[in-house]
Amino acid sequence: MSTTPAPPVNRGYFAIGAERISKSLNVGNLMRSAHGFGASFTFTVGATYQGREAHSDTSKGVQHLPHYNWVRIEDMVLPQDCRLVGIELIDEAIELPSFRHPLRAAYVLGPERGSLSVEMLARCDYTVKIPTTFCINVAMAGAIVMYDRVRSLGRFAARPVSEGGLIVDPEPHVQGGRVIRREDP
């Protein structure tokens, strides 16, 4: 059995970024997660750091994905038909588990110790919230959103009704290619 994880199978494309982010460690972690989850590009709007300062991006995502540093919201240029999805803990937002991800999306998170600006929220096609009781770290919130996207739009087997998971017989000819369920001993 291989220990190398299979790359996520994405449908459509997505990008992720942050507005007015100030800590290069947070954006580096976000970029690393974006690279791991198969993002098409990353971005910042009004960031107070330089893209190459994101030393926590140990996967060197900036070398593998386009990264855009837009100074102002008006400078943002997203691909045609790309939906901008704000991630913000506000009452009007759609809860992430109930959100259907657009096939083409760019997700934007707010800054540390702050929220998305009124101007950014106005530009968003959707606003989504992670169902937590308080704000969580920017990079962690981004990873949760990307996981939810990959999980909901990816080609994964349905979750089993009982705990545990389904495994596929590694030698289909032995058991006729049946999907078998791992039983507790």
Question: What are the pLDDT digits (tens) for 148-166?
Answer: 999 999 877 787 878 877 6
The conformation of residue 25, written as its DSSP 8-state character, comes to H
Total length of the chain: 185
Give the range among 7-11, 43-47, 57-61, 111-115 with minimum mean pLDDT: 57-61
Query: Coil, helix or strand for 96?
Result: helix
Instruction: Select from 13, 27, 36 the least CA-distant residue to 109.
Output: 27
Exposure letters 55-65 (e unless 16+ CB within 10 A, then b): ebbeeebbeeb
The token pair at 46 is 């009004």
The conformation of residue 162, written as its DSSP 8-state character, comes to S
Question: What are the pLDDT digits (tens) for 75-108?
Answer: 999 999 999 999 999 999 999 999 999 999 999 9
The token pair at 84 is 């901008």
The token pair at 41 is 């590009």
pTM: predicted TM-score of the whole model, two decimal places: 0.79
Maximum separation of any 2 CA atoms in the chain, in Å: 60
Domains of the chain, each with CATH number or no CATH: 13-153 (3.40.1280.10)
The conformation of residue 50, written as its DSSP 8-state character, comes to -
